[in-house]
A and B are shown apart, each in its own frame.
Chain A
Amino acid sequence: MQRIRLRYTKRGRLRFTSHRDFQRAFERALRRAEVPMAYSAGFTPHPKVSYANAAPTGTGSEAEYLEIQLAERRDPDTLRELLDTSLPDGLDVIDAVEAHTSGLADRLEASVWEIRLDGVAAEEAGRAVEAFLAAEEVQVERRTKNGMRTFDARAAVTRLEAAGSVDDRPDGKACAILRLVVRHLTPAVRPDDVLSGLRATADLAPPVPAAVTRLAQGLLDEETGAVTDPLAPDRDAATAAPSTAAGLSAAKATSGVSPAAGEGTA
């Protein structure tokens, strides 16, 4: 049974796709592309697909991940291209590797986010970021399935920077861009929680909804603060031991324990 890990995007207007919507679209794409999927047992067999840590509805993403199990072997690159063609534009499959390690989900330790704040000057955003980072704790509220919940949005943030305005905007309006690195903790801190935090600490109130995009997900390098490619260990294991059997044992050896595995690929 071959397992293949895919990296895909949610771009442009398709960022409004919810995770459930994506699942349906993906499973239909698998059928159209005639991918030889492995199925679960039972009365209503489902193709074996594991999704990991999907971005919230309405946020764009360059770095979503999932894993599929095939009943017959396929070349990962060919499969990637086939699925990318089969999915609507905006839901693009941009990377594929054969799984040689366990625990893809465990390697998604942190996310890098880009937050575009139209109508906010870079200096104003910079001041708010400073105030946020200076705080020990930033309590924010979010409505969840179980009602309003209050939690700290500060501790999970390992990096937050305000970049300068994009000055080539045609209308000449201000636009600040935040770059955010958040560790995946429980409760999950999402970009909108950090925005709530910026509002709480520094009264930052963007006039239009922020455009949020996940740029990367992966292991968090504690020293450099970089987020590294979660598919790199599988790629490394494949080069180290191309045969499947050896690949699996090599994978066990490196799985999740060697920080070197994903170095320098953020």
Chain B
Amino acid sequence: MSAESVFPQLEALLPHVQKPIQYVGGELNSTVKDWDSCDVRWSLMYPDAYEVGLPNQGVMILYEVLNEREGVLAERTYSVWPDLEALMREHHVPQFTVDAHRPVGAFDVLGVSFSTELGYTNLLTALDLAGIPMEAKDRTEDHPIVLAGGHAAFNPEPIADFLDCAVVGDGEQAVLEITEIIRAWKQEDRPGGRDELLLRLAKTGSVYVPKFYDVEYLADGRISRVVPNRSGVPWRVSKHTVMDLDEWPYPKQPLVPLAETVHERMSVEIFRGCTRGCRFCQAGMITRPVRERSITGIGEMVDKGLKATGFEEVGLLSLSSADHTEIGDIAKGLADRYEEDKIGLSLPSTRVDAFNVDLANELTRNGRRSGLTFAPEGGSERMRKVINKMVSEEDLIRTVSTAYGNGWRQVKLYFMCGLPTETDEDVLQIGDMAVNVIAEGRKVSGQNDIRCTVSIGGFVPKPHTPFQWAPQLSAEETDARLEKLRDKIRGDKKYGRSIGFRYHDGKPGIVEGLLSRGDRRVGSVIRAVYEGGGRFDGWREHFSYDRWMKAAEETLPAFGVDVAWYTTREREYEEVLPWDHLDSGLDKDWLWEDWQDALDETEVEDCRWTPCFDCGVCPQLDLDIQIGPTGKKLLPLTVVK
């Protein structure tokens, strides 16, 4: 396929679409390399709208890592909105990259990063617009290798038919290894065609090629086994883990868009992985072990990144940022350094802990103290033991008391509904907690105008977690439980008006559940939804529960299963799970024990400060946790003005 720019054709369509700026590229720090002087070419896709996809750290990191290499180029592509999609179909404009507006079909690889399963229909739209056959089996040597990564790739089975391969774990080194394999194969004049290339990738042991595995089923619909069908293909595919984040200080030159996007800040990942052990949390389980970036490495990235972007805010990202061993020094150091520069600092994902209020105070020295967010996740003490979120009501009250006492006006609390073993009573206790928070807040602040917002999401059991065997709560039961809680909060004459209540209905969670724990048979549902017009399923205004259920009713009965079979059904120890052949490093028996501990309401400590509890990751991957403190100071300092 010609790699010529399609911009002239696209340009004529842009006056007719919403926010055309999102399609033109030209972002600060973006890169356009010469096509002919590169021999391995990647298009990287985030399968959502530009405003969500552009700030995605994963894509940004890989884009920079690849473009830094000689002879390799990477360009970005995002999902186009339905208004442009219709015009592109009408005028035969293919899916394009925003960097040089080249057709996606002309690249060697289309790498797609899935943070969520709700991007699956957008993958199909992009493939179709790109002129790439939707099913991998119909592709020829002229088509790109379609590769998935990101957290959702830890169970790529529902999209197995549409993928050539998937990579689990960290992408930085993986993309370079894959690049070298493709380069060698191309230099040898593509021996054995597409199959040979995929086989070479599969033989590394860390690239999953679905077509080299056969899935066999039992009469009752469960999987009997997943078997490699080629010699040299491993039984299990292992995940990639990057050690020493200081060697990977990306993004160095973060992209600065012209269009408005969801996160406009200089983000620095201060550590990767988490061993808090929250049993619902897939991210915490699949990114182990904990690997910290050093305080000096963080200081340098922030300094360079701000100079390269002009952003006004720094986000210190991780799964639980306050857990960095030197977070106090980092926060104070950055607050000191940027005190005069009107740079905001934010620390998302913090736990319920008075120490975090001190940190938040430090980060908002000059600014307004508007809202603080905590995530107790479970409404009752019992529930929090089940999910291993070790926060007592006392801790929470002490924390919010400190917050309101320090001038914070609003506290946001995140919870989940539909957790394993949960009853109405567990959820109703969320209301009691909110009331206690307001009562304490009024007492310590001496004011009545403080607020507490309760935000509730539906729990979806995820692969590679102790809850991978758990039954999901049905949409109807979720809705009924949340309505009871809503009535309880609204009915409280004294405190009800100070409590905000935000929740989503249970329906989208069921679709997410189907896709999260689905197997290859779910692919037919995804395809039917796409063909029925499904796009942008992560967007409330585009998501249609009915479309998903209709597609499921049309396709799943042929396999003797249904949506409930995938979602609300509890699995047994013996069951072969669709993702068992993808190795996250976690020992399946440990996950099962942890599931049993959950049912017994037994908590597990964090292995950073207690002995190893044998989750399996470190010995399996021959690694260890990598944490400070280093005892160093935040350097380099900016020049004194």
Listed in ascending order, the chain A residues whose CB lies under 8 Å from chain B are 13-14, 16-18, 20-22, 24-25, 27-32, 39, 43-45, 57-58, 86, 88-90, 208-209
**A21 CB contact (under 8 Å) in B25, B260, B310, B312:** B260
Asked if A209 contacts B368 (CB within 8 A), the reply is no
Asked if A58 contacts B14 (CB within 8 A), the reply is yes
Contact mask for chain B residues 257-297; partner A; CB cutoff 8 A; 1 contact, 0 none = 01110001000000000000000000000000000000000
Asked if A43 contacts B27 (CB within 8 A), the reply is no
Asked if A28 contacts B20 (CB within 8 A), the reply is no
Interface residues of B in 4-51 (CB under 8 A from A): 7, 11-12, 14-16, 19-21, 23-28
Asked if A13 contacts B342 (CB within 8 A), the reply is no
Give A102 to B368 CA distance when docked, in angstroms. Answer: 35
Asked if A21 contacts B259 (CB within 8 A), the reply is yes
Asked if A43 contacts B15 (CB within 8 A), the reply is no
Contact mask for chain B residues 359-374; partner A; CB cutoff 8 A; 1 contact, 0 none = 0000000011000000
Asked if A13 contacts B11 (CB within 8 A), the reply is yes
Cross-chain pairs A/B with CB under 8 angstroms, 23 sampled: A13-B11, A13-B25, A16-B20, A17-B21, A21-B259, A24-B260, A25-B256, A25-B258, A28-B256, A28-B309, A28-B310, A28-B312, A30-B310, A32-B307, A32-B309, A32-B310, A39-B342, A44-B368, A45-B342, A57-B21, A88-B27, A88-B258, A209-B16
Interface residues of B in 285-341 (CB under 8 A from A): 306-312
Asked if A58 contacts B258 (CB within 8 A), the reply is no
**B312 CB contact (under 8 Å) in A18, A31, A57, A208:** A31
**A58 CB contact (under 8 Å) in B7, B15, B260, B309:** B15
List 4 other contacts, CB 8 Å, given A20-B260, A45-B342, A88-B27. A13-B24, A16-B14, A24-B264, A208-B12
Give A136 to B611 CA distance when docked, in angstroms. Answer: 89
Min CB distance, B458 to chain A, in Å?
Answer: 35
Asked if A90 contacts B26 (CB within 8 A), the reply is yes
Q: Taking CB as reference atom, which chain A residue is nearest B309?
A: A28
Find chain A residues with CB under 8 A from B27 CB.
Answer: 88
Min CB distance, B364 to chain A, in Å?
Answer: 11
Contact mask for chain B residues 233-261; partner A; CB cutoff 8 A; 1 contact, 0 none = 00000000000000000000000101110
How many residues does chain B have at the interface if contact means C-beta atoms less than 8 Å apart?
30
Min CB distance, A102 to chain B, in Å?
Answer: 28
Min CB distance, A58 to chain B, in Å?
Answer: 5
Find chain A residues with CB under 8 A from B25 CB.
Answer: 13
Query: Lowest 9 CB-CB distances: which A-B pairs, in order?
Result: A28-B310, A31-B310, A32-B310, A13-B24, A16-B20, A209-B15, A43-B368, A16-B21, A21-B258
Asked if A13 contacts B7 (CB within 8 A), the reply is yes
Asked if B12 contacts A14 (CB within 8 A), the reply is no
Find chain A residues with CB under 8 A from B12 CB.
Answer: 208-209
Min CB distance, A110 to chain B, in Å?
Answer: 24
Given known pairs A21-B259, A208-B12, the reply for A58 and B342 (CB within 8 Å) is no
Given known pairs A17-B258, A20-B260, A21-B259, the reply for A28 and B311 (CB within 8 Å) is yes
Find chain A residues with CB under 8 A from B310 CB.
Answer: 27-32, 86
Q: Taking CB as reference atom, which chain A residue is nearest B259?
A: A21
Min CB distance, A81 to chain B, in Å?
Answer: 17
Find chain B residues with CB under 8 A from A29 CB.
Answer: 310
Find chain A residues with CB under 8 A from B24 CB.
Answer: 13-14, 16
Find chain A residues with CB under 8 A from B7 CB.
Answer: 13
Asked if B21 contacts A21 (CB within 8 A), the reply is yes
Find chain B residues with CB under 8 A from A21 CB.
Answer: 21, 258-260
Given known pairs A20-B260, A21-B258, A24-B260, the reply for A57 and B20 (CB within 8 Å) is yes
Q: Taking CB as reference atom, which chain A residue is nearest B264?
A: A24
Give A24 to B23 CA distance when docked, in angstroms. Answer: 18
Find chain B residues with CB under 8 A from A209 CB.
Answer: 12, 15-16
Find chain A residues with CB under 8 A from B309 CB.
Answer: 28, 32
Min CB distance, B88 to chain A, in Å?
Answer: 16
Q: Taking CB as reference atom, which chain B residue is nearest A22?
A: B258
Q: Taking CB as reference atom, which chain A residue is nearest B27?
A: A88
Q: Taking CB as reference atom, which chain B residue is nearest A90?
A: B26
Q: Taking CB as reference atom, which chain A residue is nearest B20?
A: A16
Min CB distance, A92 to chain B, in Å?
Answer: 13
Q: Taking CB as reference atom, which chain A residue is nearest B28?
A: A88
Q: Taking CB as reference atom, which chain B residue is nearest A91?
A: B258
Give A18 to B259 CA distance when docked, in angstroms. Answer: 8
Give A30 to B264 CA distance when docked, in angstroms. Answer: 16
Asked if A18 contacts B21 (CB within 8 A), the reply is yes
Find chain B residues with CB under 8 A from A57 CB.
Answer: 20-21
Q: Taking CB as reference atom, which chain A residue is nearest B344?
A: A44
Min CB distance, A51 to chain B, in Å?
Answer: 16
Min CB distance, A173 to chain B, in Å?
Answer: 13
Give A239 to B288 CA distance when docked, in angstroms. Answer: 68
Min CB distance, B23 to chain A, in Å?
Answer: 8
Find chain B residues with CB under 8 A from A88 CB.
Answer: 26-28, 258
Find chain B residues with CB under 8 A from A39 CB.
Answer: 342
Find chain B residues with CB under 8 A from A27 CB.
Answer: 310
Give A25 to B309 CA distance when docked, in angstroms. Answer: 10
Asked if B260 contacts A13 (CB within 8 A), the reply is no
Min CB distance, A8 to chain B, in Å?
Answer: 14
Give A30 to B342 CA distance when docked, in angstroms. Answer: 13
Given known pairs A17-B258, A28-B256, the reply for A89 and B26 (CB within 8 Å) is yes
Give A9 to B633 CA distance when docked, in angstroms. Answer: 44
Give A90 to B28 CA distance when docked, in angstroms. Answer: 12
Asked if B307 contacts A13 (CB within 8 A), the reply is no
Min CB distance, A27 to chain B, in Å?
Answer: 8
Find chain B residues with CB under 8 A from A208 CB.
Answer: 12
Find chain A residues with CB under 8 A from B264 CB.
Answer: 24
Q: Taking CB as reference atom, which chain B residue is nearest A36?
A: B641
Min CB distance, B337 to chain A, in Å?
Answer: 15
Min CB distance, B257 to chain A, in Å?
Answer: 8
Find chain B residues with CB under 8 A from A58 CB.
Answer: 14-15, 20
Q: Taking CB as reference atom, which chain B residue is nearest A33?
A: B310
Give A21 to B309 CA distance when docked, in angstroms. Answer: 15
Find chain B residues with CB under 8 A from A16 CB.
Answer: 14, 20-21, 23-24
Min CB distance, A25 to chain B, in Å?
Answer: 5
Q: Taking CB as reference atom, which chain A residue is nearest B19?
A: A18
Find chain B residues with CB under 8 A from A18 CB.
Answer: 19, 21
Min CB distance, B114 to chain A, in Å?
Answer: 28
Give A228 to B613 CA distance when docked, in angstroms. Answer: 78
Give A208 to B562 CA distance when docked, in angstroms. Answer: 50
Find chain A residues with CB under 8 A from B28 CB.
Answer: 25, 28, 88
Find chain B residues with CB under 8 A from A31 CB.
Answer: 306, 310-312
Give A86 to B309 CA distance when docked, in angstroms. Answer: 10
Asked if A14 contacts B258 (CB within 8 A), the reply is yes
Give A25 to B532 CA distance when docked, in angstroms. Answer: 39
Interface residues of B in 569-603 (CB under 8 A from A): none
Min CB distance, B390 to chain A, in Å?
Answer: 36
Asked if B311 contacts A13 (CB within 8 A), the reply is no
Give A208 to B9 CA distance when docked, in angstroms. Answer: 11
Given known pairs A21-B21, A24-B264, A28-B310, the reply for A14 and B342 (CB within 8 Å) is no
Give A262 to B20 CA distance when docked, in angstroms. Answer: 37
Give A183 to B399 CA distance when docked, in angstroms. Answer: 61
Q: Taking CB as reference atom, which chain A residue is nearest B16?
A: A209
Min CB distance, A142 to chain B, in Å?
Answer: 15
Contact mask for chain B residues 598-618; partner A; CB cutoff 8 A; 1 contact, 0 none = 000000000000000000000
Min CB distance, A226 to chain B, in Å?
Answer: 30
